[in-house]
Amino acid sequence: MKNTHIPNPRIEERTKSGPHLTKHEHVGFNGRLALLITGAVGTMWCAYLFAIIAFISLPAAISGGTATLISWIAQTFLQLVLLSVIMVGQKVAAQAADKQALQTYKDAEALLKIQDEVHRLIKINNELTQEIHSAMVKKIS
């Protein structure tokens, strides 16, 4: 063949870099510290611990009347317990998003390779068609 096929450079670039995932975002000391704290507080065990701590003050909130009880629910229980529960939910959502990103990456990589192969085959087809055309023109002349 006259021309050699040069694969799309993006294929090799994607192979080297891989998909970008949530874990790649934690950079530097502050990022590592935030990840450590989030990992500790963002567990259901921490939510259970916060619930126990909140329930310790429940008798005092009940004896304080309606306003104190509502304040305890809003400021103590909901904030303490829901903080950890929401963080657990965000962790689960981030893991699901990473799985989706990885699948999309694999799909896009496969499509790039297929497109590259189609491009190579079209190039070969064009060269063969040109050779057939040249041979036909010589034969007719």
Digits of tens for pLDDT over the chain (141 positions)?
456 777 778 777 877 877 777 677 766 888 888 888 988 999 999 999 999 999 999 999 999 999 999 999 999 999 989 989 999 999 899 889 989 988 998 888 889 889 989 999 999 999 999 999 999 998 887
66 Cβ neighbours under 8 A, 6+ residues apart: none
C-alpha 95: how far from chain center: 7
The pair of three-digit structure tokens given for residue 65, joined into one six-digit string = 């009347």
Alpha carbon distance, N-terminus to C-terminus of the chain: 25
Assessment of whether the complete model's pTM goes beyond 0.95: no
pLDDT of residue 3: 64
Alpha-carbon span 119 to 125, nearest angstrom: 10
Alpha-carbon span 31 to 34, nearest angstrom: 5
CB 98 within 8 A of CB 21: yes
The pair of three-digit structure tokens given for residue 125, joined into one six-digit string = 């087809």
CB 117 within 8 A of CB 72: no
Q: What SS3 class is residue 12?
A: helix
Element (H, E) at 55: helix 44-56
Closest to 26 in 3D by CA, of 74, 80, 94, 127: 94
Per-domain boundaries in the chain = 26-140
What pLDDT digit, counting tens, does each position of 35-46 carry? 889 889 999 999
Alpha-carbon span 78 to 85, nearest angstrom: 10
pLDDT of residue 2: 59
